[in-house]
A and B are shown apart, each in its own frame.
Chain A
Amino acid sequence: MKQVSASIISNSEVMPGVYLIWLESPQVASEAKPGQFVMVRCGEGSEHLLRRPFSIHRLDNNKLALLFTVVGKGTHWLAQCRAGNNMDLLGPLGNGYSIQPDWHNLLFLAGGIGIAPLCFLAEKALNQGCSVRLLLGASTATQLYPRHLLPAEAELIITTEDGTAGREGLITDFLPDFVGWADQIFACGPTLMYHTMAAQSQQLLKVKSVQISLEVRMGCGLGVCYGCTVKTKNGLKQVCKDGPIFDLDDFTGEELAYNY
């Protein structure tokens, strides 16, 4: 983990309100694992005291990409950053997803902006010779992550809640169709998605390894402030240090209702 000043290579709006930033940072890129995140300082001075956590979206040699939705003042500031500007990063942080070496069929569930850490993981899995099926869900067609930015070798199944693209419904509605194929499942999305998956786990997911990525407000990103503590079936965990990747089996979802 390093604190670095990374140079912005590009910053573009890839879908309404969602930005993709490419940064040059050999120090962070050389250590990064899929599922890990960086803490980004947003703005100068003391207006925004807390860094914002973002999953590492993709990796390309010395470069890394972040994908984020503009939700508040910090991300609004970030959306205004231009190529050539520098960004103060702390990372890579957290544990990351782990692919079992002898498991071949990997099912990915990306709910909305939940595609952020899964692109990096899919690229790694495909490089290792795994077979990847990606269930990509969004509320509506315009909020779907662009097809041309996804790894071409991944088999894509699109769902939208309003049926404007792909299958109509939530991605978890279609999980039963694919669960028999999968050796391992990786998910990132809203807390409600994990609740639905946990409710299905008795019938569907029991024999599978299912890893999910939790999102909670963070203070430090290093396990210092205890701001992101959540209850799991294995006791209290700090999302920044013990996570953000957890087994679905450990997920209780307690206290995280606010995050819907």
Chain B
Amino acid sequence: MKKQRLFYVKIQRKVEKWCAYIILLLCIYVLAFQPVGFILDTIVFLFLEMLVLTPKEKRNLPLLGILSVATPFIIYTLFVYAINTPLPKGLFGF
């Protein structure tokens, strides 16, 4: 009886929409990292990801927008100028 239980792995069928979004966003972010470049890719990813994760009541678009633009720039400055580690430059040269 126990052996039968082991073979019966039921994967939960409840795949909710936004989980697919999260996974999809992540895959796009990762694949576009090199070609599009760090800054652009991160801005888009952060904005969309925060949008998807934030419950509707708390959605504060301007705040998310500022965060998603400021963060990559801050990180980029820190990494590239302060500690000299290159991050992928994309189509637009930054």
Partners in one complex: no
